[in-house]
Amino acid sequence: MKAAWAQSLRFRLLAATVAGLSVALLLAGVALGSLFRAHVLKQFESNLTQQLDQLTARLEFDAAGQPLIDARTLSDPRWQKPYSGLYWQIDEMTQDGQGRTGVLRSRSLWDARLDLSADALGDGAIHVHETPGPQHSRLLLLERTVQASADDQADDKPTPQRWRLIVAADLQDTHQAVTEFNQVLALSLALLLLLLSLAAWVQVRMGLKPLRALQHSLQTVREARSPRLQGQFPSEVRPLVDDFNAVLDRNQEVVARSRTQAGNLAHALKTPLSVLDQAAARPTSPADASLARLMREQLAVARRHIDWHLARARLAATQRLPGQRTEVASTLAGLVRVMGKVHADKGLQIQMAPADAALCFAGEEQDLQEMLGNLLDNACKWARTRVTVQATPIPGSHPALLSIHIEDDGPGIQTDHLQAVMARGVRLDESVPGTGLGLAIVKELADLYGGQLVLAPTAKGGLGATLTLPAAG
Amino acid sequence: MRLLLVEDDPTLRAQLRTGLEEADYTVDEADNGRDALFMGQTESFDAVILDLGLPMMDGLSVLKRWRDEGQTMPVLILTARDNWHEKVEGIDAGADDYLTKPFHMEELLARIRALIRRASGLASPVLQCGDLMLDTRAGRVTLQGQTVTLTSHEYKVLDYLMHRPGTVVSRTELTQHIYAQDFDRDSNTIEVFVGRLRKKLPSVQIDTVRGLGYRLTPP
């Protein structure tokens, strides 16, 4: 498995860019360095050539045909200073190669001598060598062979004398200049690499910004703060966002359709059931009476089955879709209005503790209504005078949870019956109308959302129901 | 008391009508939303039983139109859809009560009685005027503890007056609330019913306010 940072798009882009830049700058550095070195050497060599030309021009021969240089005519003071790094020397060349070296030398050579193997040189041609010099130096050495012209020659010498003129200079300064240049070059290129890498980092950051925005947007959907991906995305990311939104929309559509179909089935079945029920309620003869009783019993069973399975169908259609949020306070307010009407005869006081308007349930409105509606209806059915409702966020919970507490001042339920009452179809008191499905449906829905329903007797003997549900951020 | 029954299923409508008439209500019927809207706009009803799934115009839209136009009669929604979402929608559209199918006739009657009583601002299901008592739950009238036998029409007139003690009720109003729309109304018959009531309930003061109508005056 690769390390996490290696999987990062930003790291990959940055690594590739920096690697590419490093190679390019290294090549540029090598090329520039060698170019500079070549240029400096060429300059050095051309200076030496001038010195050689000057030496050649000052060369004279005495009557004996021996070479003669008037050192005073050579302008450069370094010729005079011992081991100054600039030297000249004149060798005698013979046919057999046994000529004398150092016939004449610059004062700077002192007691050293430049040893050079015999070299067959054409007239006037210049050869360049790199040789070790005095005091462990490296010298660049230029040589040229000249022939004393006929009128300079003594007549007794049958063959004209050949002389080798040598000029040499210490390479140390040049090498040092090249090294210094290379150092400055390396430093500059390193700085350039740094700046370019920084630019690349900025570029990657800017370029990947939409991805961060997308990630942020996805998070808002996951945390149920938004039903769709929101925001402006560049054209490269837009198709992805559009497709994702289409999937979200489709999910919601499927849920809505399943619900509608479940509702349609309810409508289709319940009207005929009502007709049968009304018919069975008024038997026309005593003979019909027992049949009517049987019908009413069976109709009641059928009704409970339908209610239960419709509720199940709705549950099955309930998916925890991301991005859903339902305001708890407004949902509660709507249901309290319903209770006020439906239970108007009891003259109940329904107290709703002011809930935070921003408190939101991370789920579908209809599911919240179903849970709270059943709990409130139950409380109103049993309450004597008062029902209290309180919705609060649970601080410090992760993922965020909220709790809704509904309490009545009715007769309550014995502790050992509290579990049974949440089972489907259990009705502890058959005298109050109802199917006995309400609490079971609430429990199932709460479970589906990862919440829970807890029933407990209140201090005054009534029933308190606490519903814990996921909260939307 | 005159009710408007809006239900598109003919069998259920007939059954409800029978049940309601047996409880001494006068019933007008509509089997679609458009007719229901029109009848509610033009006639005076003491309560409406409104099915939500109606042809032509759905029940909720009918109800919203009525409320927008200032019609205040109590409306009970009757529907097969029993989820809380639709209950909230119904109540917020202006309904006063909600009953889901299938239901028992007794439950419907109890709710209608309560709706009419609340609309008149009365708290108890037993109406009282001096020593005259009318139990709306049983449709029973007693005077000084003695049960008084009334015909259906006599009961309807007394019931209507007892829901509005001390107020003058015109003959037209009484006619409207005692006969269904398609009935051949004759306001003279009202005079006959009031006369019979005065005879059967000698200690009860039903005044004739000339040119205006009748008033049940509490002692």
Count of domains observed in chain A: 3
Worst-scoring range by mean pLDDT, A75-89, A151-165, A203-217?
Answer: A151-165
Does some domain include residue A455?
A: yes
Name A68's Cβ contacts closer than 8 Å, sequence gap at least 6: A59, A60, A61, A62, A104
Which of A255, A258, A275 is the best substitution to test chain B (most B C-beta atoms within 10 A)?
A: A275
**A393 and A470 together in one domain:** yes
**A330 and A311 together in one domain:** no
Domain ranges in chain B?
2-119, 126-216
Calculate how close chain A gets to B157, using CA atoms only, in Å.
25
Calculate how close chain A gets to B187, using CA atoms only, in Å.
34
Worst-scoring range by mean pLDDT, A214-223, B111-120, B182-191, B195-204?
Answer: B182-191
Q: Label residue A76 by pLDDT band (50, 70, 90).
A: confident
Task: Select from B169, B166, B161, B158 the least CA-distant residue to B212.
Answer: B169
**A71 and A110 together in one domain:** yes
Which pLDDT belongs to residue A27? 95
Hey, are the CB atoms on A303 and B102 less than 8 Å from each other? Answer: yes
| pLDDT(A71) > 70 | yes
pLDDT digits (tens, 9 = 90+) for B125-172: 788 888 888 888 778 888 888 888 888 888 888 888 888 888 888 888
- Among B9, B53, B91, beta carbon nearest to A341: B91
Which of A305, A342, A364 is the best substitution to test chain B (most B C-beta atoms within 10 A)?
A: A342
**A230 and A274 together in one domain:** yes
- Mean pLDDT for A299-328 is 77
Hey, are the CB atoms on A341 and B95 less than 8 Å from each other? Answer: yes
| pLDDT(A151) > 70 | no
Name A282's Cβ contacts closer than 8 Å, sequence gap at least 6: A292, B18, B19
Which pLDDT belongs to residue A197? 92
Strands (DSSP E) along chain B, which ranges? 2-6, 26-30, 47-51, 75-79, 97-100, 126-129, 132-135, 140-143, 146-148, 168-169, 206-209, 213-216
| Structural domain of A129 | 59-170
Q: Give the Cα separation of B155 and B127 in Å (integer).
A: 13
Residue A77 DSSP label: G
**A317 and A344 together in one domain:** no
Does some domain include residue A198?
A: no
Which pLDDT belongs to residue B182? 63
Nearest CA in chain A to B123: A345
**A309 and A338 together in one domain:** no
Instruction: Starting at the earlier edge strand, list the strands of the sheet with B168-169.
Output: B168-169, B213-216, B206-209
- Mean pLDDT for A61-82 is 81
**A341 and A450 together in one domain:** yes
- Mean pLDDT for A263-278 is 80
Q: How far is CA A154 from the centre of its chain?
A: 91
| pLDDT(A157) > 60 | no
Q: Which two tokens stand for residue A429?
A: 């008191």
pLDDT digits (tens, 9 = 90+) for B59-106: 999 999 999 998 889 999 988 877 888 889 999 898 999 888 888 888
Looking up residue A394, the CATH number of its domain turns out to be: 3.30.565.10
Worst-scoring range by mean pLDDT, A93-102, A264-273, A330-339, B172-181?
Answer: A93-102
**A292 and A401 together in one domain:** no
**A332 and A316 together in one domain:** no
Residue B108 neighbours by CB distance under 10 Å:
20
Hey, are the CB atoms on A341 and B92 less than 8 Å from each other? Answer: no
pLDDT digits (tens, 9 = 90+) for B2-61: 999 999 889 999 999 999 998 889 999 999 999 999 999 988 899 999 998 888 998 999
pTM: predicted TM-score of the whole model, two decimal places: 0.61
Nearest CA in chain A to B90: A338
Q: Which two tokens stand for residue B62?
A: 């009918």
- Indicate the residue among A132, A147, A170 that finishes a domain: A170
Q: What is the ipTM metric for this complex?
A: 0.75
- Mean pLDDT for A365-389 is 90
Does some domain include residue A228?
A: yes
Does some domain include residue A394?
A: yes
Hey, are the CB atoms on A314 and B83 less than 8 Å from each other? Answer: yes
B126-216: which CATH topology? Arc Repressor Mutant, subunit A (1.10.10)
| pLDDT(A207) > 60 | yes
**B2-119: CATH class:** alpha beta
Hey, are the CB atoms on B98 and A342 less than 8 Å from each other? Answer: yes
- Mean pLDDT for A210-239 is 82
pLDDT digits (tens, 9 = 90+) for A37-69: 999 999 999 999 998 998 888 888 887 778 888
Q: Which residue type does A472 have?
A: A
pLDDT digits (tens, 9 = 90+) for A116-142: 776 666 667 888 888 888 888 888 888
Residues recorded for chain B:
219
